[in-house]
Structures are given as structure tokens and as C-alpha cells.
Structure 1
Amino acid sequence: MKQIAEWIRTKNPELDREPGLQEDLIEARLIDSLDFLEFIYLLESFSGRPIDLGEVSVDDFRTLERIEHRFLTPAAGAGS
């Protein structure tokens, strides 16, 4: 999660802290539509599996906590 938080910080140089685990990344505009596909590729590289955009919703990307649960835990590929 540290690397994901660091990616968010590089995209938001005005951010002087790491985003919180439950902070709404979309509401806070820390992940915008222009960077979203790059973010998907980043998650795919960390998880080692593709993300089917037809099987996810925007809510799956709202918080670092949800991202970790949905994409980066061992059971995440089993239809979380």
C-alpha cells in the first residue's frame, strides 16, 4: 500500500501527507479520470492479475482500504 500511496502523492504534489486508508480518494480528487487507467495498470502490476473493468465499480477505488481488500489480498481474485 505504501507504493500506491506514493503514486498518489506523485500525482498530487500539493499533498503534504500520505492519504489515509479510509479517505475517499475520488471525492478528494486524488485520483482523477486522466490518471485512472495508469492507476489500473499500477494495481494490475502489484496484484499480478488483470482487472476486468466490467466487473468493478468506482466504489472499488474509493479508499486505500477498499483497494487493498478488493485487489491486493490473496482472496481478492475469488470474486470479492
Structure 2
Amino acid sequence: MESVIAWIHEKNPGLDGAIAPDEDLIEARLIDSMDFLDFIDLLESISGETIDLQTSTIDDFRTLARIQERFLSASVTAQA
């Protein structure tokens, strides 16, 4: 998850402090449409899995907690 948070901070240089797990990343404009495909690539790289956008919804990318649950739980478990 550190890579995801670092990516968000890189894309938002004015962002100070931590990002709450339940903060709406899209409403807060921390992830925008211009960078969304790069964000998908990052998640795929971290998880080692392809993200099927046909079975995903925007809500799957809305918060750090949901991203962890939906896309990174398996990779975190595998690394432990």
C-alpha cells in the first residue's frame, strides 16, 4: 500500500499528511481521469494481476481501504 500512497502524493505535490483509509480519493481529486490508467497499471504491477475493468466499478477505486480489499489483499497475503 505504500506504493499506492507514494503515487498519490507524487501526483498531488501539494498534499500534506496522511490519507485516511476511508477518504474518497476521487471526490478529493487525488486520482483524476487523466491519471486513472496509470493508476490501474500501478495496481496491476503491485498485485501481479490484471484488473478487469468489466467487472470493476469506480467504487473499487474510491478509497485506500477498498483498493486494499479489492486488489491488494491477495498480494499482501502472498508476501507475508
- On whether the aligned pair clears a TM of 0.5, the verdict is yes
Residue 23 of structure 1: aligned partner: 23
The offset of 1:23, in angstroms, is: 0.4
| Letter aligned with residue 71 of structure 2 | F
Q: Does 1:14 align with 2:19?
A: no
Residue 38 of structure 2: aligned partner: 38
Equivalent pairs, count: 75
Runs of 4+ in structure 1 displaced over 4 angstroms?
none
Q: Decide whether the 8 Å contact of 1:25 with 1:62 is kept in 2.
A: yes
Q: Identity percentage over the alignment?
A: 59
TM-score, length-scaled by structure 1: 0.90
| Letter aligned with residue 6 of structure 1 | A
Q: Decide whether the 8 Å contact of 1:9 with 1:18 is kept in 2.
A: no
- Counterparts of 2:60 and 2:7, CA distance in 1: 18
| Letter aligned with residue 46 of structure 1 | I
3-state SS of the aligned residue for 1:54? coil
1:28-55 per-position Cα deviation (integer Å, ceiling 9, x unaligned) = 0000000000000000000001001111
After the TM superposition, which of the residue ranges 55-64 and 66-75 deviates more from structure 2? 66-75
Residue 72 of structure 1: aligned partner: 72
Q: Which runs of 5+ in 1 are unaligned?
A: 76-80
Q: Which runs of 5+ in 2 are unaligned?
A: 76-80
